[in-house]
């Protein structure tokens, strides 16, 4: 590749395998709606969605209308569910782009109805019920007014009903069981109002992997598609990380004991040290807080990152990689036969979750779709 040698490889074979592995867990006629919001969790929504469409998926979920527009512009023709619904002023885009809107308030219904009626078309909508996450969705008390508005909306067709699980990956099952109970009650109220709830979906990645009782409904996997189980301690299905973050050695120099590296002299050598400079930094999503905590892989060996992470560069101790050379590939997130550095290990070091790590790889890092074998989780 030309230009700065820092990039992310997106293994579409691993993505497809993950999709099929997750789909194999389902029962009956239920299906997956892959979640490709946030640029497919940092993997590149257009190429990911195209690969999933080739694998057989017919629907996708995004958070924002803008994300749906980007998919349509990339040639994605399948169903696109907008999980956050339409903010005021976006109704015409929902209708004209044939999105499936999430609805959870009478106001949203009225705005969509007005936009659809002005074009004399039907718009598809999924009802979202708040079952205890207290974020988005119709509450138990507001559900009646939402259903009344939907009954009056001649141009809105309810094609699905869903909610979102807060902690399905946790071993304490009590709250998830309560959410399932509330969801079933909500479905009952929808039917009592004379509305068909349509396609029912509750399971996210955790719900699909850890709750067999939810596998008869449609599921919306996100992080599991990209190769990471929601609970690092449990990987009940064979999942393969899809993204590998790479760069190349730009410079190698040897420093003496007592010399320092980087801003604020946070690393001071205790011995003669071979230091490799790699052109990646916190502007690329290589988090500054990884300084002194991270490793990379050079020629199949783990090598420690030294000192403070700069905006555009990191420095690496390659003293134990005696054959290291300028131009050698550096794996920032990925694995070799002897070493593994993945989004879960970064997350452990930083006190966060793999989702944030993957979404945090910045747009200035090119995503390169490839077809390569990759390692299983666990």
DSSP secondary structure of 8-55: EEEEHHHHHHHHHHHHTT--TT--B--B-HHHHHHT-HHHHHHHHHHH
Q: State whether residue 58 is helix, strand or coil.
A: coil
Task: Find the domain containing 101 and state its range.
Answer: 12-226
Residue 55: name the closest of 13, 87, 27, 105 by CA: 13
Task: Give pLDDT, residue 375.
Answer: 47
In a domain, 349, yes or no: no
> Do 192 and 276 belong to one domain?
no
Say yes or no: 126 and 189 in one domain: yes
CA 162 to CA 166: how far, in whole Å? 13
Query: Is residue 171 located within the same domain as residue 311?
Result: no
φ/ψ of 104, rounded to 5, equals -145, 10
Query: CA-CA distance, 276 to 324, in Å (whole number)?
Result: 9
- Does 163 lie in the same domain as 73? yes
Q: Is residue 152 part of a domain?
A: yes
Number of domains in the chain: 2
Residue 348 lies in a domain: no
Clarify whether residues 92 and 220 are in a common domain: yes
Asked if residue 6 belongs to a domain, the reply is no
CA angle 143, 131, 116 (to 5 degrees): 45
Is residue 135 assigned to a domain? yes
- Residue 4 domain-assigned (yes or no): no
Torsion of CA 291, 222, 376, 47, to 10 degrees: -90
Dig out the tokens for 19 from the structure: 């999709």
Known catalytic residues are 37, 263
pLDDT at residue 378, as a whole number: 41
Give me the CATH number covering residue 289: 2.40.37.10
Does some domain include residue 346?
no
- Work out the angle at residue 43's Cα, subtended by the Cα atoms of residues 294 and 58, and round it to the nearest 5 degrees: 150
Q: Among 195, 226, 257, which residue terminates a domain? A: 226
Asked if 187 and 197 count as a contact pair (C-beta separation under 8 A), the reply is yes
- Supply the CATH number for residue 97's domain: 3.20.20.10
CA distance 83 to 62: 6
Each residue's pLDDT, cut to its tens digit, for the chain (378 residues) gives 679 999 999 999 999 999 999 999 999 999 999 999 999 999 999 999 999 999 999 999 999 999 999 999 999 999 999 999 999 999 999 999 999 999 999 999 999 999 999 999 999 999 999 999 999 999 999 999 999 999 999 999 999 999 999 999 999 999 999 999 999 999 999 999 999 999 999 999 999 999 999 999 999 999 999 999 998 777 777 899 999 999 999 999 999 999 999 999 999 999 999 999 999 999 999 999 999 899 999 999 999 999 999 999 999 999 999 899 999 999 999 998 889 999 999 999 999 999 999 999 999 999 999 985 544 444
């Amino acid at each position: 590749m030309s230009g700065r040698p820092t990039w992310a490889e997106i293994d579409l074979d691993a993505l497809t395998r993950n999709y099929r592995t997750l789909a194999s867990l389902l029962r009956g006629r239920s299906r997956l709606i892959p979640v490709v919001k946030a640029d497919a969790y940092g993997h590149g929504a257009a190429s990911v969605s195209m690969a999933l469409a080739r694998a057989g998926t017919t629907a996708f979920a995004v958070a924002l209308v803008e994300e749906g527009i980007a998919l349509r512009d990339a040639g994605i023709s399948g169903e696109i569910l907008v999980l956050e619904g339409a903010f005021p002023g976006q109704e015409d885009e929902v209708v004209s782009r044939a999105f499936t809107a999430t609805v959870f308030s009478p106001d949203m219904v009225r705005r969509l109805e007005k936009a659809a009626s002005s074009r004399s078309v039907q718009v598809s909508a999924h009802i979202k019920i708040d079952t205890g996450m207290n974020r988005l969705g119709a509450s138990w008390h507001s559900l009646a007014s939402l259903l009344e508005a939907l009954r009056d909306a001649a141009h809105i067709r309810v094609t699905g009903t869903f909610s979102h699980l807060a902690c399905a990956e946790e071993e304490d099952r009590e709250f998830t069981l309560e959410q399932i109970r509330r969801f079933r009650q909500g479905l009952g109220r929808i039917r009592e109002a004379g509305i068909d709830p349509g396609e029912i979906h509750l399971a996210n990645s955790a719900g699909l992997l850890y709750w067999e009782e939810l596998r008869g409904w449609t599921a919306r996997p996100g992080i599991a598609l990209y190769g990471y189980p929601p609970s690092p301690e449990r990987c009940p299905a064979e999942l393969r990380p899809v993204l590998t973050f790479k760069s190349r050695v730009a410079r190698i120099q040897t420093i003496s004991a007592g010399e320092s590296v980087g801003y604020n002299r946070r690393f001071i050598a205790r011995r003669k040290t071979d230091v490799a400079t790699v052109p990646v930094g916190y502007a690329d999503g290589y988090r500054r807080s990884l300084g002194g905590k991270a490793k990379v892989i050079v020629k199949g060996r783990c090598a420690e990152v030294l000192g403070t992470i700069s905006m555009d560069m990191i420095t690496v101790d390659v003293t134990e990689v005696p054959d290291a050379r300028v131009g050698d590939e550096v794996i920032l997130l990925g694995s070799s036969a002897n070493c593994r550095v993945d989004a879960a290990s970064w997350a452990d070091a930083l006190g966060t979750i793999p989702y944030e790590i993957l979404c945090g790889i910045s747009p200035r890092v090119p995503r390169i779709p490839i077809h390569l074998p990759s390692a299983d989780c666990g």
